[in-house]
Amino acid sequence: MSAIFERISIRKYEKKSVSDEMIKKIIEAGCAAPSAGNQQPWQFYVVKNNEILEKLSHVHQWAGPVAEADFAIVPCYKNEGLWAQEFAHVDMAACTENMLLEITELGLGAVWIGIAPDEARTKLVNDILSLPKDLSSFAIIPVGYPAESHAQESRYDEARIHFI
Ligand SMILES: Cc1cc2nc3c(=O)[nH]c(=O)nc-3n(C[C@H](O)[C@H](O)[C@H](O)COP(=O)(O)O)c2cc1C
């Protein structure tokens, strides 16, 4: 799959709108992720409102790209009542990576802005989005047409592989 080897973090975006059809494809890719016991803990908040994007861009010092994006997806998860609650973050990481790969496949750019498991960041984002109590934010994914590019560097390192 070429998107795996083409995906890079994109933090600068063109001032051009992404279609709702593309947004749906990105979220469909997120929903195709594996999850513990197939519990699919996810919900997706799609933020197009510039004031909210601006607020999200200040939740920590590395969240700046959110203010520049056409929109952001905030993948959220059920924080209670799951069959395997302790695996929720792992499920959400798989879901987030799937979306980043689809974003690459569509010729768009994005970056994973880390929120969970940091509790202070999580609360800030939950409050900005007025999430219900049983939902928590996992990450912020600002998305847009890329205004920067470079080739992905190979990180393959034989010294890290151990055959037994
Ligand atoms: C859990 C996680 C949290 C991250 N948080 C941020 C962030 O807050 N801000 C940011 O600009 N990049 C963030 N990144 C992106 C990484 O900096 C980036 O993936 C890494 O430098 C490798 O570069 P690449 O994505 O271009 O391969 C995060 C990535 C992960 C997986």
> Please, is 145 exposed, middle or buried when counting C-beta atoms within 10 Å of its C-beta (0-12, 13-18, 19+)?
middle
CA-based torsion, 12, 15, 16, 18: positive or negative: positive
11 lines ligand 1 (CB under 6 A): yes
135 C-beta closer than 6 A to ligand 1 = no
Contact at 8 Å (CB) between 116 and 140?
no
The domain segmentation of the chain, as residue ranges, is: 8-147
Q: In whole angstroms, what is the distance from residue 111 CA to residue 67 CA?
A: 12
Task: Judge if the beta carbon of residue 66 lies within 6 A of ligand 1.
Answer: no
In this predicted structure, the answer to whether residue 68 has a pLDDT above a threshold of 90 is yes
pLDDT at 37 over 90: yes
- What is the distance in A from the centroid of ligand 1 to the CA of 8? 9
- How far is ligand 1, taken at its centre, from the CA of residue 164, in Å? 32
Q: Reply yes or no on domain 8-147 having CATH 3.40.109.10.
A: yes
Q: Give, to the nearest 10 degrees, the angle between helix 20-31 and helix 88-105.
A: 140
Mean pLDDT of the 143-155 span:
96
Q: How confident is the model at residue 122 (pLDDT cuts 50, 70, 90)?
A: very high
Query: Which of the listed residues 7, 57, 90, 112 should we mutate to test ligand 1's pocket, taking the one with most ligand atoms within 8 A of CB?
Result: 112
Confidence of residue 19 (pLDDT cuts 50, 70, 90): very high
Q: Does residue 1 carry a pLDDT above 80?
A: no
In this prediction, residue 45 has a pLDDT band, given cuts at 50, 70 and 90, of very high
**pLDDT above 90 coverage of the chain, percent:** 99
DSSP classification of residue 83: T
User: Which ligand 1 atom sits closest to the C-alpha of 60?
Assistant: 8
Mean pLDDT of the chain: 98
0.95 surpassed by pTM: yes
The token duo for 142 is 């600002």
- Give the model's pLDDT for residue 130: 98
Q: Which residues pair with 137 in a beta bridge?
A: 76
pLDDT tens track for 84-111 = 999 999 999 999 999 999 999 999 999 9
Per cent of the chain over pLDDT 70 is: 99
Q: Is the CB–ligand 1 distance for residue 114 below 6 Å? A: yes
